Amino acid sequence: MLLVFHVMQVVVLARLVTKLQENAHAYRVSVGTSVTAVPLAEWTQKLLLPAAQCISNGFSCIQSTYFIPKDAVKIEAEGKLNGGDRAPYYIMDRRARLKHLKVGEKTVHINGKAPTGRYYVIVHFYQPNFLPFLGKVVISGQNAASTLLTFRYCPHVSGCRAIGTSQYREGMRESIYVGRQNDILVSIAIPEDKGVWIDYVLLVPISSFSPSLLDVKPIDITQDFIQDFGQRSFFLKESTSQFCLRSAFILTTRFNGGALSCNCDSLRAIKTGCQPFAIGELCVCPT
């Protein structure tokens, strides 16, 4: 097959795919490069927006998790009979049971139970194939309530979360009310030409909601810090590992509300800036 692109009809996009890496020795961003030919009619600036793939320790991804409040109601999307659909190839949890809304399927209905109360609706999903698109969630029980969700482009190995927003006030979070009839039907609808994997729906009481629920939990490296730095009695010197140096720098700057000025004496110091952090951030003086 011969593919011919007219030069006026195609935008060539050099896309940088970034992966945030956090490991025991350094914080780094690795960058891979690919070149993609995009038809001019389909071009949008949104194609330039980066998306996180994972938190990495060295050269491999770490399984990230999301916090679930104790009083939240978790409703799995996969059916009890079919055991879920095939998950995207790149996700870390190969045991995950998901519902795949394929292109053309549009809607999935999920049965669940929830105590009476007012909730925010959060959906955990995987969406590696499309630019952001709007979906709709309808909670039906004693009464019906609906909310919008943005299924953004999400190549993250642990998936992403989206929260229900108002149909009338763009981008503003909106809660729904579940009445005395605790049996509910959750319906998720997406455009016919889109697709998404749904893991679960989370109904979070408004009193338990925090914006941090929409982000993966930080990786705890406390024990690594104590084990590595503690062996040196928490004393910094030139031979101290980069992990200890960076950790100490982060702790210090956060405690001080930011980095402090060197304030080197312009008459006595050779430079107004400090020496590298590895040797204590001292002023450079004549020897």
Taking 70 as the threshold, does the pLDDT of residue 80 lie above it? no
Q: What are the phi and psi torsion angles at 58 (to 5°)?
A: 80, -115
Listed residue (6, 187, 223, 219) closest to 99, CA to CA: 187
> What digits encode the pLDDT tens for the residues 206-259?
999 999 999 988 876 676 667 766 666 666 666 667 777 777 777 777 777 777
Q: Quote the CA–CA distance of 208 and 99 in Å, as a whole number.
A: 27
> What digits encode the pLDDT tens for the residues 30-74?
455 678 888 888 888 888 888 888 887 667 888 888 999 999 999
Q: Quote the CA–CA distance of 232 and 43 in Å, as a whole number.
A: 55
The full DSSP string for the chain is: ------TTTEEEEEEEEEEEEE-SS-EEEEEEEEEEEEEGGG--GGGG------EEETTEEE-------TT-EEEE-S-TTT--BPPPTT-S-TT--BEEE-TTT-EEEEEEE--SEEEEEEEEEEB-SSS-EEEEEEEESSSEEEEEEEE--B--TT-EEEE-B-SSSTT-B-EEEE-S--EEEEEEE--TT--EEEEEEEEEEGGG--GGGGSPPPP--HHHHHHHHHTTTT---TTS-HHHHHHHHHHHHHHTTSPPP----TTT-S-SSBPPGGGTS-B----
Residue 248: the pLDDT is 73
Average pLDDT over residues 75-95: 80
Question: CATH 2.60.120.260 spans which residues of the chain?
Answer: 73-214
Angstrom CA distances, 223 to 54, 77, 133, stand at: 21, 36, 41
Taking 90 as the threshold, does the pLDDT of residue 263 lie above it? no
Residue 213: the pLDDT is 95
Residue 29: the pLDDT is 45
Mean pLDDT of the chain: 79
147 in Cβ contact with 168 (< 8 Å): no
State in words which class domain 73-214 has: mainly beta
Model pTM above 0.75: no
Residue 278's pLDDT band (boundaries 50, 70, 90)?
very low
Taking 90 as the threshold, does the pLDDT of residue 262 lie above it? no
Angstrom CA distances, 173 to 34, 89, 115, 176, 189, stand at: 36, 32, 21, 10, 18
Q: Quote the CA–CA distance of 21 and 61 in Å, as a whole number.
A: 8
The one-letter code for the residue type at 233 is: S
> What digits encode the pLDDT tens for the residues 156-214?
999 999 999 988 888 789 999 998 878 899 999 999 999 999 999 999 999 999 999 99
